[in-house]
Structure 1
Amino acid sequence: MKDEKGITLIELLVALSILVIISSLLYGALVDVNKNYRQISERNSLRQDANRILATLTNYHQKKTLHYVDPATNKETYKIKYDPSSQTAYIGQSSANIPLADSGQKIELKVGQPNYQEIPNEQTIDPYKPLYVNFKLIDNTGISYEINTIIKQY
């Protein structure tokens, strides 16, 4: 018999099929890792935005420089407005005109003293009473993040 060097066609086909199976498994794993990374990144971004909104609410509630003094009653207040049809919320001193959420995000906001309720139009907030806040922030992909808390004046 001849001493043949090299590989046969069958050996080549077996090696290629093993390579295809391994590469398809690796590709599926990489796609899953990328998908999970994107979801975690979007959730973290949403959590940061929710914390920014909470910090804004806390600042308005606790800092006297952000309060509006009503000349008729001489009381310090600030305003919050929520539009449930467009799911947007606003805050401000004498009128609520500063948006809480970024464009492209929706917010479901309920505030109260001492319980949660949806805000009818624009509500005047007394900063010397605890403010009960419940809001859910929803991004354009449908991922949401919810916060329930009480903001107090110290």
Structure 2
Amino acid sequence: MTDKELDERVQRAVDNFMAGYGCCQSVVAAFSDLYGLDETMAKRIGAGFGGGVGRMRMMCGAVSGIVILVGLDCGQTEGSDREGKSACYKVVQDLLAKSKEENGSIICAEILGIQGHEKAHSSYVASARTAEYYKKRPCAAKVESAARIFADYLKSKDGHNES
């Protein structure tokens, strides 16, 4: 896959978010076809991870998207395959460490600057996607960061053509 093709996937993730999809949905759907997963199913798989998992402000949805994609890419399929599990866990930890380094946290509430358990878990109701929402939320940038981290992982894993 060329740099240009990977850049287009990163932009697709941002475009998905700006079209109203959650952070996780946006990231997973941008790469899902690489794993034989259609975009609709990818968006369904990622739907519950929005707002830091069900809007509980826990792990960032974009970061959850990285975890799902790593599972699709190198997750073990035999229950007794400890080596495979460990290899997958290593990739997850490495990529999440990159996300934390870039974004200061992998926790939604911390990224959004929400203080206190009560406030962070106050409602399951999704926020309206208004111009004001997009202005005050760093989420599009976090989606871009997560998609770029996964794209860079694919480059390092498989090699790539410059174009």
* Fold match by TM threshold 0.5: no
TM-score by length of structure 1 reads: 0.26
Higher relative contact order, chain-length normalized (CA < 8 Å, sep 6+): 2
- Which is richer in helix? 2
TM-score by length of structure 2 reads: 0.25
Higher Cα radius of gyration: 1
- Which is richer in strand? 1
